[in-house]
Amino acid sequence: MPSNKQAQYQYPYEVERVPLPLSSDEFFNLHGKRTPDFVIVSGDAYIDHPSFGTAIIGRVLAAHGYTVGIIAQPDWKSAESVKVFGEPRLAFLVNAGNMDSMVNKYTVAKMPRSSDAYTPGGRSGKRPDRAVNVYCGLIRKAYGDTPIIIGGIEASLRRFAHYDYWQNRILPSVLVSSRADLLVYGMGEKQTVELAEALDGGLNIHDITYINGTAYLTESLERVYEYNEIESFEVVSSDKKAYCSAFMAQQREQDAISGTRLVQQHGNKYLVVNPPAMPLTESELDFVYDLPYTRLPHPSYKEHIPALDEVSFSLTSCRGCFGQCSFCALTFHQGRVIQARSHASLIREANLLTKLPGFKGYIHDIGGPTANFRFPACKKQSTKGVCKDKSCLGYSPCKNMTVDHRDYVELLRKLRKLDGVKKVFVRSGIRYDYLMYDKDDTFIRELIKYHVSGQLKVAPEHIDERVLEYMDKPAGGLYERFVQKYMSINKSLGLEQYIVPYFMSSHPGSDLNSAIALAEYLKSSGQRPEQVQDFYPTPGTLSTCMFYTRLDPRTMKSVYIPRTPKEKAMQRALMQFFIPKNRPLVREALRLAGRDDLIGYGKNCLVPPESADKQNAGKQNRTGRAQGEKTVRGSGGNASNARKASRRPKGKKK
């Protein structure tokens, strides 16, 4: 990423930190002119923190000598809202925000969410559906053919023809629907700098077709070389097997070293998706995070922005993930090759945290997509790329995977010794399977002793072997062994800490019998999940492909898909069978599956018979509360001992 225009030094941490401008006057006061080189239009409020894409891209451009103005959450009903800075000298850069706008706005039940964490005051309604399309439409209306480049998570995951859960149909590439000129996918720093230099050098936006990590439209393939053509938008819209084939090609080529350029026809045009950009080196990643972020919302905001809460005193140590869970789109965006920052860079940022207002000595997280990944899964990935049809971790680990926590252990040791730091927590995802494959127990012991805040969050997701295989998650017995090991080490250290597991309902392959098996496990192990996540079909994931096609694209075999709202509600209720209001649904599900044996008062029963509800209803009329209702309330660090005990893993009963 370094270029001739980049300052060849690390920013001193005492440098004056000034946010990027949100207004024309602010831009003029900062630069003495009115026209920025680039205008970034985003669906999020502007927080100048390296956990937010707009801040990173803006800061990277500024570090390379370009001027940037930001239009955050414009009025999506008026083209005037994108005229804050006038027409930029080089291009508009458009993103929907840190989340896909549809996921941000709607629940899995397709109901509008009541809040938006990326908006001042947490208010909903500040961004449109399919924000990238809408913002590009406003810019086209205001400025005609001015160059528009789209990026961020929404554009990245919708770069090909894709299944859209909210409309329940195949949509074309967002590059087609937005009428933008170019699409940047992935994290975007390298591509954005190359694009800026090309535009600054006088190249027309339509001639910039050579940059990896970008996609463009063309009317002819005459000048496109070394490509594989996948099934067209029209074909995948009507043929589910063709959709599977196209999806698998996209997954296989998602690698900077081994990936191939892909072409997908859309009507009379061709979508050309270049191979992914090379992952950032350690020094390049350090450079990105060493930039002079204020780490605060823009001072013009008068209300709190909730999205900052989880990251204000956290550090990002890595990118990428070779875990490759089927329901997660991260590998389709960041890739499977791990990129990690140096210890020195993380220590510099940690020292900065200690000087910030509100810091009380606690670093909330040191992590990334998977906190305990610091290196590529194997040596081969650095020179030959990732395997196209094999998982590194998944249901069963690759024998060539390197398991080593020593660097992460050393990093955590350095950070917890810093002046002003009382405690360093690890709260982002820990892959318990990767941890369990490590023959050296140093990391798990130090994690438990120093870096757990009373509860460790892990994501087994399910216990049914068939469902786990569809999820590409480790076989269920490994999670139980992890729980036993975790509790044993806690006991040996004289600590009383618990596991908060995440389980998912209604994933492809999960029928009522699978959901009942999970409920039986939760009952026998004494776990009571306070939150349940329904599978959410989002663009770019293997599980979404299964959901739409009812096929596993890896094998082309049929997959059971729970689709009806009633069955989804049953599966969700089974995972929280202990909540009195769920009992009628649980009983209905059990009877539908022929499992009446789990209704009653026996030790293995999930719910009592209907007569118990009538008795409880009478007690509720007298006391105002149904019996058992007090066992499930909100979660948090101040949970009562009774509620902690209710979540305590006790080992599976025989």
* Token representation of residue 566: 């009633």
Q: What is the pLDDT of residue 14?
A: 55
Tell me if 37 sits within 8 A of 90, measured CB to CB: yes
Every domain range in the chain assigned CATH 3.30.750.210? 308-452
Q: What is the largest CA-CA distance in the chain?
A: 80
Q: What is the CATH number of domain 24-216?
A: 3.40.50.2300
Q: What is the pLDDT of residue 633?
A: 29
Residue-wise DSSP of 73-92? S--TT-GGGG-SS-S-SSEE
Positions in the chain short of pLDDT 50: 2, 4-10, 621-654
Question: How much is the pLDDT for 16?
Answer: 72
Alpha-carbon gap, residue 272 to 270, rounded angstroms: 6
Domain span(s) for CATH 3.40.50.2300 in the chain = 24-216
Cα–Cα separations (whole angstroms), residue 373 to 321, 340, 408, 433, 435:
8, 9, 8, 12, 10
One of 3.40.50.300, 3.60.40.10, 3.30.750.210, 3.30.360.10 is the CATH number of 308-452, namely: 3.30.750.210
Beta strands (DSSP E) in 450-561 are 455-461, 498-505, 533-534, 551-552, 557-558
Residue 418, both tokens: 């810093």
What DSSP designation does 49 have?
A: S
Hey, is 505 helix, strand or coil? Answer: strand
Which distant-in-sequence residues (6+ apart) come within 8 Å of 479 by Cβ? 432, 458, 460, 463, 501
159-168: pLDDT as tens digits: 999 999 999 9
Question: Could you please report the per-residue DSSP string of 262-314?
Answer: EEEEETTEEEEEPPPPPPPPHHHHHHHHTS----SB-TT--S--GGGTTTTTE
Tokens matching residue 342: 């140096």
